[in-house]
Structure formats: structure tokens, C-alpha cells
């Protein structure tokens, strides 16, 4: 019978190593599970290597990353796994429990991940293979939990982190709903006035047989174009949207757009506050999970979407690699403001950087809410002014038509 060398975690978190005889890799894993051990690595010591390789190959999903999950699914899976692991279950047992009690996509995910875990694949790699919804940052956090023996704590921390990031995203989107509603209703009202009300009222003036004023003639011409060539305008609008979508994917446009997001007065404050919160929360979670500073900075950089802020973090990463402190690197690259840099400096001086970052992230969540409220308070009056000018101009035009008609009728 083939022999397998293993390293596994016991219930108290200590690392056990040894050899075990088993028919194949799956049998070895089951034997370790019955002993209360969670396998970290299993290596064949004899001709069983071929069998292990075959088992691993069969364990691979037919279509890697084929299972589509949204953010809510990922959060629920993380919370459920954290609860099951905290109750004392092993990884395979927890996945089996989720597979049995869930008939949704989470049950399918748990089944695919369990097959991989049974054949010696770490949970972090199994999740990455099962669905692309688990990004590199998430999988590295899970790997850190597996290596440190605190996977249940990492799962709970990941669930809180994902909930916080989802809450931040909802706040930003929610702040833009009302301004977007104002703009849409104002545009719809303008179209109705130009295409329906304006021609009705202009009929009073043209019925007199006299030449209407220039502004009225221009308004009527615009109305005729909208009513007679709406299909051409719709096609043109569709082409413009398709062109913008194509241009949006180009690096030049992304660079311009991301620079605009950190330059506009109101949007800049939201972008900066969101970046600082994401930086503090993510870096703090990685450091508390046992990830070293440099790999943690690299993972944070990959999670940032703004190209200019990503470049600043890349420069800071190089400075830290050369021996500079994190606070000095962030100050030199101007990636964070002075208050955020002071927080990092305090964490470095006290030797509790991860704890300081976590507490600061909790405060920044409230600060981001205030920034969003201030930005919304600024954006809404600006949109109201724009709508007032557009709608007011149309109303003035129609009133002018009425008065012009009445004057011509008097003469």
C-alpha cells in the first residue's frame, strides 16, 4: 500500500507531521480527518504519486471558474463557512454541510470545492478553481488562514470586510440616485415640451399668417427634427453609446477618467475617502491574517481600480522594499493625506500597525458617510440649476409664443 508524507493541523492549532499508509490520496485525507487532523500538504513517497496525480486531475472542475457568483453569494458563503468552522468542523465537513443544506449556487460551489479539498487541494486554491468571483485578495487571505491555523477567524474577518466594502459601494451609488433621477425627469420634461407642447402653442402664431420671431422659428425647427427624424437620432445615440463603450476600455481613456475622478472637487473627496477606507481595511485585515507587509501591499495595490492611485501604491511598494517605512513611502508618493499618514506612523511606532489600521478603518466608514452627504448636497443644487435653466428656457419660449400671438392678433 502506498505511503504518504503529510503535514496537518491538530485541533489545538499545532502542526503535526508524519507518514500514513493509504490506498490513495483521498483515503489518506479521510484517515487524517478521522484523527481530527486538517491536512495542509500530502506527498506520495512511492509509486502512489501517479495515483495522486490522477486523482488531482480528476478533481479539477471541467470548466474552471465557470460558476457565476455575485457579491451577495460570496458574502453569504464566507459567513456560513466562518460559522461552521467556528463550531469545530473541519473544512471538508463544513463544505459537506453547506452542500447538503443548500440547493442554490452555494450548494454547487460547496460540492465542487469539497471534491477538490478531499483530493488534497487547499481551500484557497479550490475556491479559485471553482469560481472567478473569489479574487486573488480573497484567496490569499484564506491561504493565510490555512497556514496560520486560524481559518475560522480569517473567514469571519473576511465576511466583515466584504460587508463593509459592499456598504461603502451602496452609499456611493445611493448618493447618485437622486441626482440621476432629477436629470432624467428634467430631460424627459424638456423632450415633451419641445415635441408636443411647443408645436401646439406655435400653431396659434402661425395661424395669423405672420412671420414668427427667430427664436420661435428655431424652436419649431428643433421640434420638427425631433418628431420627424427620431429614428435617426436613436441610431446616432446608439452609435455614440457603442463608441463610448469601446473607448472606455482603452488605457488612454481609463487614465483620463481615473485622473478626473481624483481631480473634480466633489467627486475627488468621495474617491479619496473610499480609497483610504479600502486601503486601511484591506491592509489591516491582511496583516492581522499573518501576511507580511510587502505581499500585503501588493495585494492591496491589485485590489485598487484607480490607475493613478495604483501607480502611487506601486511607487510606495518599491520604497518599502528598499527599506523605507510605510508612512514615509506613503508621504513621498502622496498616496494618502497627512492625517492618514499620521495614523500609519502611530501604528509603526507602537508596533501594532494592523490593530491601528483596523480601528482607523472603522472611523473612516463614518467619515466617508459625511463626505458623501456633503458631495450630494453640492451636486443636487447644481443639477437643479441646470434643470431650471433648461426647463425655464422652454417655458419662457412658450410664453413668448403666446404673447407674440396675442400682439399679432391685436394688430
Boundary residue ending a domain (162, 187, 219): 162
Looking at the structure, tell me whether residues 132 and 95 fall in a common domain: yes
55-72 per-position pLDDT tens digit = 444 444 444 446 788 888
Instruction: Say if residue 248 is exposed, middle or buried (CB neighbours under 10 Å; 0-12, 13-18, 19+).
Output: exposed
Lowest-pLDDT choice from 39-53, 106-120, 145-159:
39-53
Flag whether 91 is in a domain: yes
Q: How far apart are CA 162 and CA 166, in angstroms?
A: 6
397 and 293 in a single domain? The answer is yes
Which among 134, 175, 182 is positioned nearest to 158, based on CA atoms?
A: 134
Q: Is the pLDDT of residue 157 over 80?
A: no
pLDDT digits (tens, 9 = 90+) for 217-273: 776 777 778 777 878 888 998 999 898 888 877 888 888 888 888 887 777 887 888
Same domain, 256 and 319: yes
Nearest CA-CA partner of 80 in 104, 57, 98: 98
Asked, for residue 75, whether it belongs to a domain, the answer is yes
Predicted pLDDT at 239: 92
Question: For the ranges 208-222, 231-245, 353-367, which has the lowest average pLDDT?
Answer: 208-222
pLDDT value, residue 59: 40
58 lies in some domain: no
C-alpha cell recorded at residue 103: 440547493
Question: In the structure, what pLDDT confidence band is assigned to residue 405 with cuts at 50, 70 and 90?
Answer: low
3-state secondary structure 30-94: HHHHHCCCEEEEEEECCCHHHHHHHHHHHHCCCCCCCCCCCHHHHHHHHHHHHHHHHCCCCHHHH
Q: Distance between CA atoms of 279 and 286, rounded to whole angstroms? A: 11
Q: Which of 111, 134, 162 is the last residue of a domain?
A: 162
Domain extent for 143? 71-162
Q: Is residue 253 classed as helix, strand or coil in its secondary structure?
A: helix
- Residue 336 inside a domain? The answer is yes
pLDDT winner (highest mean) among 158-172, 203-217, 301-315, 319-333:
319-333
**Calpha distance 402→395 (Å, rounded):** 11
Between 185 and 111, residue with greater pLDDT: 111
Backbone angles phi, psi at 68, to 5 degrees: -90, 125
Phi/psi-derived region of residue 135, left when phi > 0, alpha when psi is between -120 and 50, beta in every other case: beta
Domain annotation covers residue 233: no
CATH number for position 309: 1.20.81.30
Domain count, the chain: 3
Hey, how many other C-beta atoms are within 10 angstroms of the C-beta on 64? Answer: 12
261 and 386 share one domain = yes
Amino acid at each position: 500500500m502506498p505511503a504518504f508524507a503529510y503535514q496537518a493541523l491538530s485541533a489545538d492549532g499545532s502542526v503535526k507531521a508524519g507518514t500514513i499508509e493509504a490506498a490513495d490520496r483521498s483515503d489518506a485525507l479521510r484517515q487524517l480527518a478521522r484523527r481530527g487532523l486538517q491536512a495542509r500538504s500530502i506527498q506520495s513517497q512511492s509509486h502512489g504519486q501517479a495515483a495522486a496525480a490522477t486523482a488531482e486531475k480528476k478533481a479539477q472542475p471541467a470548466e474552471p471558474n465557470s460558476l457565476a457568483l455575485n457579491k451577495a453569494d460570496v458574502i453569504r458563503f464566507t459567513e456560513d463557512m466562518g460559522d461552521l468552522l467556528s463550531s469545530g468542523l473541519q473544512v471538508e465537513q463544513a463544505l459537506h454541510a453547506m452542500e447538503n443544506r443548500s440547493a442554490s449556487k452555494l450548494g454547487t460551489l460547496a460540492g465542487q470545492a469539497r471534491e477538490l479539498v478531499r483530493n488534497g487541494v487547499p481551500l484557497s486554491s479550490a475556491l479559485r478553481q471553482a469560481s472567478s468571483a473569489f479574487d486573488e485578495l480573497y484567496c490569499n487571505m484564506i491561504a493565510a488562514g490555512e497556514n496560520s491555523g486560524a481559518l475560522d477567524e480569517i473567514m469571519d474577518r473576511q465576511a466583515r470586510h466584504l460587508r463593509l466594502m459592499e456598504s461603502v459601494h451602496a452609499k456611493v451609488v445611493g448618493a447618485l440616485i437622486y441626482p440621476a433621477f432629477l436629470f432624467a425627469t428634467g430631460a424627459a420634461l424638456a423632450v415633451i415640451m419641445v415635441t408636443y407642447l411647443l408645436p401646439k402653442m406655435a400653431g396659434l402664431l402661425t395661424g395669423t399668417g405672420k412671420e414668427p420671431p427667430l427664436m420661435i422659428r428655431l424652436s419649431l425647427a428643433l421640434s420638427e427634427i425631433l418628431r420627424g427624424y427620431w429614428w435617426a437620432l436613436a441610431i446616432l445615440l446608439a452609435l455614440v453609446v457603442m463608441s463610448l463603450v469601446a473607448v472606455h476600455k482603452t488605457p488612454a481613456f481609463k487614465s483620463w477618467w481615473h485622473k478626473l475622478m481624483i481631480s473634480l472637487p466633489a467627486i475627488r473627496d468621495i474617491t479619496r475617502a473610499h480609497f483610504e477606507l479600502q486601503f486601511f481595511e484591506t491592509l489591516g485585515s491582511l496583516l492581522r491574517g499573518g501576511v507580511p507587509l510587502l505581499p500585503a501591499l501588493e495585494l492591496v495595490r491589485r485590489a485598487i481600480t484607480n490607475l493613478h492611485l495604483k501607480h502611487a501604491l506601486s511607487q510606495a511598494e518599491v520604497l518599502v522594499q528598499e527599506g523605507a517605512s510605510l508612512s514615509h513611502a506613503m508621504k513621498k508618493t502622496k498616496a494618502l493625506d497627512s492625517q492618514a499618514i499620521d495614523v500609519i506612523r502611530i501604528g509603526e511606532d507602537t508596533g501594532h500597525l494592523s490593530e491601528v489600521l483596523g480601528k482607523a478603518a472603522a472611523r473612516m466608514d463614518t467619515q466617508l458617510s459625511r463626505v458623501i452627504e456633503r458631495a450630494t448636497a453640492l451636486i443636487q443644487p447644481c443639477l437643479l440649476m441646470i434643470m431650471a435653466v433648461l426647463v425655464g428656457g422652454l417655458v419662457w419660449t412658450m410664453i413668448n409664443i403666446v404673447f407674440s400671438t396675442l400682439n399679432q392678433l391685436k394688430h
